Amino acid sequence: MQRLFLFTLSFLFLYSCKVKQENPIALKHKTSKNAMIVSANPWASKVGTDIMKQGGNAVDALVASQFTLAVVYPRAGNIGGGGFMIIHTPEGKNEALDYRETAPAKAYKDLYLDKNGNVIPKLSTYGGLAVGVPGSVAGLYAAWKKYGHIKDWKKLIEPAINLAKNGFPISKAEAYRLNKYKADFVKYNPNNQVFIKNEKWKEGDMLVQKSLANTLQIIADKGPKGFYEGPVAQAIVNKVKKSGGIILAKDLQNYQAKFRKPISVDYRGYKVISMPPASSGGVALGQLLKITENYPIKKWGFHSQKTTQIMVEAEKRAFADRAQFLGDADFYHVPIDSLLNDDYLKHKMTDFRWQSATPTDSLMAGSYTLHKESFETTHTSVVDQNGMAVSCTTTLNSNFGSKVIVDGYGFFLNNEMDDFSAKPGVPNQFGLIGAAANAIAPHKRMLSSMTPTIVTRNGKVFLVVGTPGGSTIITSVYQVILNTIDFDMNMYDAVQAKRFHNQFLPDEIMYEEGAFSQQVIDSLQKKSYHLKQVKALGYVKAIMSKNNILEGSGDQRNMDDTVDGF
């Protein structure tokens, strides 16, 4: 009896040590010869690497890491949101996967306007009416079903289930955000105790999510039907309705992820592959690169006055087109070929003058203060040992989305409905404007700035890149590409280099401290450019393949970004 007692104590001690292990190290830079993954969390990167070591390919690793992020990175990792994915196969095939959320069947154009036609504050950002139909589970399954190498779907979700069931020690950044949004959690989820504590969360506290573990087990056992039909789906409908929303069971049943033809442009001998609408990322990035290619920025130098001015003017024009022409191509004709036409883009620059900034007030009416999007979105880049690559950006939109947690199932729902244009010319919470192309309609996908991108040279992967950051996603990816191709930076330097951003309206250049010399700042101001210093722009996660070596970099701007590989 005593021996049994001692054995039990020993087992419990070992189990406790296993569960309360420290977070894997958040390594920001690494090189390897075989495979690599960069994500927003050490656990997710470790899981992705383990899957590839067990024979999985880049898609398998991506899927496993995304389910893990739903557990360990709840402010952005998700099963209640959506995203976009670019896949490059070893044979050289490129494909885009769109699993963006959709508007419910009962949604309509003026959903967020009062009787006087004014936008009702916060209605599209908080609570059930802000929730779009989630796409993440359908998207991850579709990617695995078509491209995955590991045959057992359950194997890809098991690591996430174990972390949710047994718990993990949270990071300092996660503790901060759980404390910051406590009041919202209480308001919309008064009976949920997982994320709500009497005392403050602190680094190292164990976050145990048994309800989420149960949900993930259902998805593992039943695939997407376990999420879009049955008890989980009904719980989503019930919670959304209780919180003031309009999602119906048929909205979930009818959801489909869609494979699409990616946007592809050539830039100085490289092929840049990115997302088509309903993402604005690929078209805007393509415009930026094609305009830039006409100027010798390498000769002018990194962040010189002339290089900066050309890049800003290109950004103004790309974002003006974004506001006017881009939306869900299934609902609105997006003139992609015209927008990426060389003659059209050269014509767009004919009113540019070196002497002064191109005025924007005559191009589109309206003025407002930009509320720069934070980094609630998250990105993962993967390259495997066979040359397959995946670039994936996913989001709930705001931190913890709509703040609504599905009762009994433990996951947050998105607030992506705010990415529609609630009213033409009126900005959303992140300062982005839109027109009829991005108006609300049933089953429509809302416009996004997510820009998962893969760059190839001679058919082989050169760069896998992406970032969170709302509208700054597009310009951050743009700058990292220029840093590697035009300015010959290695991966680490290209990611850490200071960045700047302009999005047409408001008429200002946001820049990180140290991005420009005082001479460049003075010169730009004399040319009537308005500058605004900000803390950070983008949390880039990128991998470069060069001379048979993979070099990965997480962003020093985000303490939890992690590179792993072998």
Element (H, E) at 462: strand 460-466
CA distance 53 to 417: 39
- Residue 164's Cβ-count burial label (10 Å; 0-12, 13-18, 19+) is buried
For 86: left if phi > 0, alpha if psi spans -120 to 50, otherwise beta; the answer is beta
Element (H, E) at 322: helix 305-325
Contact 99, 86 (CB under 8 A): no
Report pLDDT for 422: 87
The two structure tokens encoding residue 275: 């997302």
**DSSP secondary structure code for residue 394 in this structure:** E
Contact 537, 476 (CB under 8 A): yes
From residue 15, give the alpha-carbon distance in Å to each of 10, 20, 209. 9, 9, 17
| Secondary structure of residue 247 in the 3-state scheme | coil
Phi, psi of 379 (to 5 degrees): -130, 150
Give how far the C-alpha of residue 324 lies from the chain's centroid of Cα atoms, to the nearest Å.
Answer: 23
CATH number of 262-374+450-546: 1.10.246.130
Report pLDDT for 289: 98
CA distance 444 to 434: 15
CA distance 21 to 169: 8
Tell me the three-class secondary structure of 201-234, residue by residue: CCCCCEECCHHHHHHHHHHHHHCCHHHHCHHHHH
User: 114-123 as b/e, with b when 16 or more CB fall inside 10 Å?
Assistant: eeeeebeeeb
For 94: left if phi > 0, alpha if psi spans -120 to 50, otherwise beta; the answer is beta
Contact 261, 147 (CB under 8 A): no
pLDDT of the chain, 566 residues: tens digit per residue = 444 434 343 433 333 334 445 679 999 999 999 999 999 999 999 999 999 999 999 999 999 999 999 999 999 999 999 999 999 999 999 999 999 999 999 999 999 999 999 999 999 999 999 999 999 999 999 999 999 999 999 999 999 999 999 999 999 999 999 999 999 999 999 888 899 999 999 999 999 999 999 999 999 999 999 999 999 999 999 999 999 999 999 999 999 999 999 999 999 999 999 999 999 999 999 999 999 999 999 999 999 999 999 999 999 999 999 999 999 999 999 999 999 999 999 999 999 999 999 998 644 533 333 334 445 799 999 999 999 999 999 999 999 999 999 999 999 999 999 999 988 767 666 566 666 889 999 999 999 999 999 999 999 999 999 999 999 999 999 999 999 999 999 999 999 999 999 999 889 999 999 999 999 999 999 999 999 999 999 999 999 999 999 999 999 999 999 999 99
Sign of CA dihedral 257, 332, 326, 334: positive
The residue assigned the tokens 């970004």 is 561
Active site residues: 377
Contact 140, 87 (CB under 8 A): no
Q: What angle do CA 44, 46, 50 make, to 5 degrees?
A: 120
> Residue 532's beta-bridge partner residues?
510
The two structure tokens encoding residue 105: 């069947």
Report pLDDT for 424: 75
Question: Where exactly are the structural domains of the chain?
Answer: 24-259+377-420, 262-374+450-546
